[in-house]
Amino acid sequence: MRLMSKKHWIRLCSASIAVVAMVAASTISGSCALDSKTTLCEQFDLRCKEGQECAVKEAVCIPIGGCGNNHLDPGEKCDDGNVTSGDGCSADCKSDETCGNNIVDDKAAPSEECDDGPSNGMPGDNCDFDCHLRDRACGNGMVDLDVGEQCDPGVNFEDTKDCNSSRASAVGPNIACRVPRCGDGYTNMMAGEECDTSGDLTAGCNGISCKFSVCGDHIQNKDAGEQCDNGSADTVGCNGNHGSSIDCKFPSCGDGYTNMAAGEECDSTDGPDTPTCNGKTAGIASCRNTRCGDNYLNRAAGEDCDSSSGSDTMTCNGRNAPDGVKCKTVACGDGYLNMAAEEQCEPNTPDGKDSPSCNGKNAPDGVKCKTVACGDGYLNTAAGEQCEPNTPDGKDSSTCNGRDAGNAKCQPATCGDGYINSAAGEICDTKDNVGCGSGTLCQKNGMNQCKQCN
């Protein structure tokens, strides 16, 4: 056991012990100091002076009833039996070292940089919920309304559907830690944006919707080359979205795309006529299927002519003619009877040659494709004609019986043919006359002329 110094001992006991008994009283005075004026902390082998006692859990002297006695006394927030900070109770027992108690516990674990009590983490307060000084920057997880923040997604720097992260600060001020808005210049894909051009239309982005420019989105994007946008389907004024270069362009005959909503039935690239489609120069018939009678001459379809009504004309077979001759120039022998061209018949023979009832294509104009008529000036041998009188009105000639000769018409004037051809000098004609025999009235003379018997 450690003894106190003589000087210290005299100060404690001189009032009650005689100087003359100093040597003898040394033992007694020691007993006084130990029992009356000091306190022995046996567990720590420590003596504490008058008015002090040992801390319960630490080798240190503390005021009697003070912080460290492991008892919560008035004015104390805690007392864990020691006077060491950083263990959940401060050295003065006035702080439980929790963030939010309005005491800055710099020895706490974790240490505190600030503590504004209930104000921690509140808008406008520089101390966060963890009692650290806030940098008030976007991304600290706190919504700092006083600096204009509307939201704060935290330190992971990731956008959310409701908040732009601190990454948005690279685009410009007053965008980070704000609610996403199409047109703010920052593309927040978590909020469904595909692009953001601050509200401007660009070739790749519809500024007003923050979506990539796509034909069919009902937004005409001129920078993307769109002339119109009425949705993905064709309309009378706009080609829809079909994955081609003329999407969202005005319908145009010759663009290579058939927009039926615009009245097109066909369309050839660059617009030339084709065998099945009228090209872009066909007027109201442009980009329509080729039709005989559409009043457009489509030579690529083999047309020679075309009338507005589609009916036969003097020069053109109409739409009712068979395939192969419709919208062809009228031709006797083509197998089609065009009465508008004054055809009376068609020979319907190979190559349009004469038939027994119809003059063929080789007949002169005016009689071709006319019903065979003796006296018409055309010798139709297919009809049995051997001659044509070639006289006005088809009357008899000196060598040919005319149209009134019955079965002998357009036959050579022959005595004995049973027809009296006065132009041939006949005054009589009995069929098969051979002389003036019994019952005969007419004879054939040496000139093969029929003479009446005497």
Question: Whole-angstrom Cα distance, residue 295 to residue 291?
Answer: 9
Q: What is the pLDDT at residue 11? A: 33
Neighbours of 318 (CB within 10 A): 20
What is the CB neighbour count within 10 angstroms for residue 20?
A: 8
Encode pLDDT of 335-380 as tens digits. Answer: 999 999 999 999 999 899 999 999 999 999 999 999 999 999 999 9
Q: Is the peptide bond before 180 cis (omega within 30 degrees of 0)?
A: no
DSSP state at residue 371: B
Judged against a pLDDT cut of 80, whether residue 434 lies above it is answered with no
Residue 5 has pLDDT above 90, yes or no: no
pLDDT value for 427: 81
- Look at residue 35 in the predicted model and tell me its pLDDT: 46
Residue 298 in tokens = 């489509």
β 450-452/442-444 pair status:
antiparallel
pLDDT computed for residue 147 by the predictor: 84
pLDDT digits (tens, 9 = 90+) for 27-53: 333 333 344 577 788 788 889 998 999
- Structure-token pair, residue 235: 């309309």
Q: What is the pLDDT of residue 454?
A: 54
Least confident of 35-44, 104-113, 217-226, 433-442: 433-442
Phi/psi for 33 (5° steps) reads -65, -40
pTM summary value:
0.56
418 has pLDDT over 90? no
Higher-confidence position of 345 and 445: 345
Place of tokens 């989105």: 217
SS3 of residue 11 by DSSP? helix
284-312 average pLDDT score: 94
Contact assessment for residue 370 and residue 358, using Cβ atoms and an 8 Å cutoff: yes
Place of tokens 């079909």: 242
Query: Which DSSP string corresponds to 257-270?
Result: ---GGGT-S---TT
pLDDT band at 436 (very low <50, low <70, confident <90, very high): low
Cα distance between residue 74 and residue 1, in whole Å:
35
CA atoms 147, 148, 152, 158: torsion sign: negative
Mean pLDDT of 142-146: 82
Q: By three-state DSSP, how is residue 39 classified?
A: strand
Q: Mean pLDDT score of the chain, rounded to an integer?
A: 86
- The CA distances from residue 247 to 202, 209, 212, 233, 270, in Å, are 17, 20, 15, 10, 16
Nearest to 382 by CA among 413, 405, 361: 361
How far is the first Cα of the chain from the last one, in angstroms, to the nearest whole number?
206
